Amino acid sequence: MKVLLIGSGGREDALAHALARSPRLTKLFAAPGNPGVARVAECVALDPADHAAVIAFCETEAIDFVVVGPEVPLVAGIVDDLAAAGIPAFGPSRLAARLEGSKGFTKDICAKYAIPTAAYGRFADEASALAYLEKVGAPIVVKADGLAAGKGVTVAMTVEEARAAIVDCFSGAFGAAGAEVVIEEFLDGEEASFFALCDGETALPFASAQDHKRVGDGDTGPNTGGMGAYSPAPIMTPEMSERVMAEIIRPTVAAMQAEGCPFKGVFFAGLMIGSKGPQLIEYNTRFGDPETQVMMERLESDLLELLVACAEGTLAGKSVTLRDEAALTVVVAAKGYPGSVEKGSEIRGLERAEAMPGVKIYHAGTKADGARILANGGRVLNVTARGGSVAEAQARAYAAVDALDWPQGFCRRDIGWRAVEREKAGG
């Protein structure tokens, strides 16, 4: 099969390397890709927002299948446009992608179909949002309704903090994403990410992970797109995973069918596991970043076969095989992230770091300048390692980070701390 992968980040680098392992693959293209992706794919200068250009490329190159990595093209309906041109693709339709594109839509689905989630209110104006806040108090969670690159969420411990977040949203801090605001009850417990593939009818558990959203050690500082992750999530035992499938994922599949927009693609469920069992925080409708990097390190199944089955409606009877190892990734970001960053500094030591046992480095925000690799974004590298335990994977990943020569970069030094503590305690 000739496959086109859309996207340019660390997630896409991990997907590209997993797709490249498939015996069904004959040629892999990536649009636009990055220097990491270029190790296994031919990168092409296509703008994923230009659906007509993507379709024309697919027709010229006789592409058999398109894998859409990021959320923005999905929410914009690229899968619908590809389907109209007779080109099969992995990912939900525009209407089904509303599960990520509108937090309010997802909350309404949960309310209608009794899917466990936090109590909430939806608001289209600042005054009514502030009035609701005064009524419910803090701690409280304030979310921009639309896509905000993982940054439109404020967990406010005080009313003042929540008030500031509401004003920010309505004053345009997140552009169109903040035109509507969702205010949610604060949930107590342990967060986990759970992934399941779906072909519109059948849902198949894929893997679990936990990520670290805050920029600083000890989960301090502003939210980011994610500073690291590990898989599996220890709290997602087989019993808890089955509860999530039974109480959250399968009811969502049925709900989306009932609403006339069956879901094909990957459910990325952000969960809170607490005294009430699993509760849905939010859905994303694509593979997570940096969760994909650790899940693909554990995946033994043929990824391409699974993604094609989602698109074709043939997922029933399929299974996902994962290595019985832990994987952990450390995001190395440019100094200043998640604020403004300097681009163009050279990253050295990549080959030395990647030669270490069990280590794989995925490129997120890099560009090639001849033989040199330069920083070209906020989150720049995903230094990933496997090990017999999270502690072993963590030690290998940080040894590889320390082998890099990039003074302009930084990372958290405590990725995986909760799981490592649990391992030490024997639980």
Q: What is the domain-level CATH number for residue 57?
A: 3.40.50.20
Domain co-membership, 11 together with 32:
yes
Pick the last residue of a domain from 47, 75, 91: 91
185 within domain boundaries: no
How high is the pLDDT of residue 171? 86
| pLDDT tens sequence across 32-71 | 999 999 999 999 999 999 999 999 999 999 999 999 999 9
| CATH code: domain of residue 381 | 3.90.600.10
How high is the pLDDT of residue 204? 98
How high is the pLDDT of residue 151? 61
Rounded to an integer, the average pLDDT of 411-422 is: 95
Domain co-membership, 331 together with 308:
no
Domain co-membership, 40 together with 135:
no
| pLDDT tens sequence across 344-393 | 999 999 999 999 999 999 999 999 999 999 999 999 999 999 999 999 99
Rounded to an integer, the average pLDDT of 331-337 is: 97
How high is the pLDDT of residue 295? 98
How high is the pLDDT of residue 144? 86
111 within domain boundaries: no
Domain co-membership, 254 together with 300:
yes
116 within domain boundaries: no
Domain co-membership, 338 together with 263:
no
- Partners of residue 68 on adjacent β-strands: 6
Q: Which residue has the higher pLDDT, 23 or 124?
A: 23
Instruction: Give yes or no for residue 193 having a pLDDT over 90.
Output: yes
Range of the domain at 142: 125-179
Rounded to an integer, the average pLDDT of 245-267 is: 98
Instruction: Give yes or no for residue 306 having a pLDDT over 90.
Output: yes
In angstroms, the CA 363 to CA 375 distance is 10
What is the value of pTM for the model shown?
0.92
The domain total for the chain is 4
How high is the pLDDT of residue 72? 94
Domain co-membership, 383 together with 410:
yes
Domain co-membership, 238 together with 338:
no
